[in-house]
């Protein structure tokens, strides 16, 4: 039952006891469309006795993924419209995404790039494409930050990561290199001295945005992996997706955000789920999301507050959709709501 090897298909899921034989047959239709992978760490985290386990829900394929709703789209956040060269997405003037790989150690069932990642996805940039991507960054002096995402950039070997970072080292206007990854949580032992040395090879300021959605993901091994990164001088921030049946509960989110802060990971973004195909079973309404986020305000330290974000469909970028607590009631006069819902006039009456 205790699978020690990576799981990458239906028969391996069945062999690991994570699905039964009947499910294996019906789920074939899901896995033909969307990639499946679990690391041994994630497989061990799943509580097989709980049919609503929030870890299982994030990683085990589900028949609900076959239901595609009319508003869903293959490229929900409009990467394609802002891609000047292969592997680069340049939506905001001062920063670009560099998508060097479209492979992940785990495939999240709600993934916003699920049509681009996996063995049938966009693949890994070859040397020529990477050179073109670096030439683009070099040629645009307004690019202050390069964000390595994908896919999960930390699936690359330390040697390949170092090659990429050495290229960035030579570009003076790039000051910040950010990695978006799930690896410290889903494969914590991969965060070793060689990988950390590679991450630091550019001499730039390095940020790692860690993707985790449920407090149980922050095991002692995951926390130790984060500690190795922070102790090496890398700044850690969090990103989570607000997901029905995983973390759509102020208590669960509060525990998750506190676990990040305890791990020296500063909560950064809480994403409203994107309109990726076959993910409607994960989506709540924005009003439901706002109610959950408002409930965090009074409950936990300011250190623990993430920004609630929607990536506007069509490539229009991110918007802060946390409920605004300020409302102008007359010229220069505002009504401010407190975390309990009370309303206060600002400036107050003399
Ligand atoms: C999300 C995203 C970023 C990063 O946005 P931040 O608000 O800086 O975290 C940059 N470029 C693109 C294309 C993005 O989708
Ligand atoms: S790790 Fe990120 S890119 Fe990979 S499947 Fe999960 S959400 Fe998608």
pLDDT digits (tens, 9 = 90+) for 52-90: 999 999 999 999 999 999 999 999 988 888 999 999 999
> For residue 344, is it within any domain?
no
> For residue 329, is it within any domain?
no
Q: Using a 6 Å cutoff on CB, does residue 97 contact ligand 1?
A: yes
Q: Is pLDDT above 90 for 323? A: no
Which ligand is nearest to the Cα of residue 77, counting in written order? 1
**Could you identify the atom of ligand 1 that is nearest to the CA of residue 90?**
13
CA of 348 to the centre of ligand 1 (A): 38
In a shared domain, residues 93 and 175? yes
- List residues near ligand 2 (CB under 6 A): 104, 107-108, 111, 113, 117, 150-152, 182, 211
> For residue 348, is it within any domain?
no
Share of the chain above pLDDT 90, in %: 90
In a shared domain, residues 122 and 30? no
Full domain range(s) for residue 20: 10-53
In a shared domain, residues 95 and 181? yes
Q: Check which CATH number belongs to the domain holding 315 and give it.
A: 3.20.20.70
Q: How many domains, in total, are found in the chain?
A: 2
Which ligand is nearest to the Cα of residue 113, counting in written order? 2
In a shared domain, residues 173 and 260? yes
Residue nearest to atom 7 of ligand 1 (CA): 318
In a shared domain, residues 38 and 166? no
Report the pLDDT value the prediction gives residue 196, as an integer from 0 to 100: 98
> For residue 3, is it within any domain?
no
In a shared domain, residues 30 and 169? no
| 132 compared with 80, residue with greater pLDDT | 132
CA of 320 to the centre of ligand 1 (A): 13
| 6-20 per-position pLDDT tens digit | 999 999 999 999 999
| 272-286 per-position pLDDT tens digit | 999 999 999 999 999
In a shared domain, residues 45 and 92? no
Q: Binning pLDDT at 50, 70 and 90, where does residue 96 land? A: very high
Share of the chain above pLDDT 70, in %: 99
Which ligand is nearest to the Cα of residue 150, counting in written order? 2
> For residue 346, is it within any domain?
no
> For residue 339, is it within any domain?
no
Q: At a CB cut-off of 8 Å and minimum separation 6, what does 106 contact?
A: 37, 38, 39, 42, 59, 182, 186
In a shared domain, residues 134 and 246? yes
In a shared domain, residues 28 and 143? no
Q: Is pLDDT above 60 for 305? A: yes
> For residue 130, is it within any domain?
yes
In a shared domain, residues 38 and 152? no
Pocket probe mutation, ligand 1, options 85, 91, 315, max atoms within 8 Å of Cβ? 91
In a shared domain, residues 234 and 102? yes
Q: Using a 6 Å cutoff on CB, does residue 92 contact ligand 1?
A: yes
């Amino acid at each position: 039952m205790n699978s020690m090897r990576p799981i990458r298909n239906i028969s391996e899921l069945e062999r690991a006891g994570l699905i039964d034989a009947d499910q294996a047959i019906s789920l074939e239709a899901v896995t033909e469309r969307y990639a499946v992978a679990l690391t041994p760490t994630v497989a061990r985290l799943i509580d097989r006795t709980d049919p609503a386990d929030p870890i299982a829900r994030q990683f085990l394929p589900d028949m609900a993924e076959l239901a595609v709703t009319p508003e869903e789209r293959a490229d929900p956040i409009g990467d394609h419209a802002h891609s000047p060269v292969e592997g680069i997405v340049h939506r905001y003037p001062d920063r670009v995404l560099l998508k060097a790989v479209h492979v992940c150690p785990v495939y999240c069932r709600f993934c916003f790039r699920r049509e681009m990642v996996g063995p049938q996805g966009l693949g890994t940039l070859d040397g020529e494409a990477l050179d073109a991507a670096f030439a683009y960054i070099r040629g645009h002096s307004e690019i202050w930050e390069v964000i390595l995402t994908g896919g999960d950039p930390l699936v690359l070997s330390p040697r390949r990561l170092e090659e990429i970072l050495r290229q960035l080292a030579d570009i003076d206007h790039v000051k910040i290199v950010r990695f978006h990854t799930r690896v410290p949580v889903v494969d914590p032992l991969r965060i070793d001295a060689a990988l950390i040395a590679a991450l630091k090879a550019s001499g730039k300021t390095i940020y790692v945005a860690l993707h985790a959605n449920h407090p149980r993901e922050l095991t002692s091994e995951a926390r130790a992996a984060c500690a190795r990164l922070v102790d090496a001088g890398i700044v850690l921030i969090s990103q989570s997706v607000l997901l029905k049946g995983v973390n759509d509960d102020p208590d669960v989110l509060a525990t998750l955000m506190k676990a990040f802060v305890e791990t020296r990971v500063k909560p950064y973004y809480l994403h409203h789920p994107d309109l990726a195909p076959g993910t409607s079973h994960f989506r709540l309404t924005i009003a439901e999301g706002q109610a959950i986020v408002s409930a965090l305000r009074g409950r936990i330290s300011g250190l623990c507050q993430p920004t609630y974000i929607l990536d506007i469909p069509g490539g229009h970028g991110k918007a802060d959709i946390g409920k605004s607590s300020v409302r102008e009631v007359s010229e220069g006069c505002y009504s401010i709501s407190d975390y309990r819902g009370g309303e206060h006039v600002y400036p107050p009456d003399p």
